[in-house]
Amino acid sequence: MVRGLSLEFMSKQYYVKRAGRISGPFSGSEVKSGIKTGKLMEQDLISLSKDGPWRTLKGVFKKIRAAEKKLLLNVCEACGESNSPKSKICRHCGQPCSSHE
């Protein structure tokens, strides 16, 4: 991730809401891990407070990925991780980087 966004995201505590049930708090790394493992879904809601405001995880990560792409960090479409701008293959998942397809 972009360093500024990554540090900001990872340093906070988050609450997740699914089907009206609120869980948490979770660290940024726990949220990221939950998305990768499928425990959290794009339609789940996330907030910095138990009282909201709530946003979809899909919306939050789309904004982070868009910022990464603007900074030319070669974001892998398959796993969402950042790579060197010159990378042809993702160092995280081994898939071709989209900027080199």
**pLDDT at 100 > cutoff 80:** no
Domain count, the chain: 2
The answer to whether residues 66 and 77 belong to one domain is no
Cα angle: 92, vertex 93, 98; to 5 degrees: 95
Domain containing residue 34: CATH number: 3.30.1490.40
The answer to whether residues 40 and 54 belong to one domain is yes
Confidence (pLDDT) at 99: 56
Confidence (pLDDT) at 81: 82
pLDDT in tens, 28-54: 888 878 877 889 888 999 999 999 999
The answer to whether residues 65 and 100 belong to one domain is no
Strand ranges (E), the chain: 13-18, 21-27, 45-47, 55-56
CA distance 96 to 49: 38
The answer to whether residues 21 and 66 belong to one domain is yes
34 CB contacts (<8 Å, ≥6 apart)? 16, 26, 40
Residue 59: pLDDT band (50, 70, 90) is confident
Structural domain span for residue 101: 73-101
The answer to whether residues 16 and 37 belong to one domain is yes
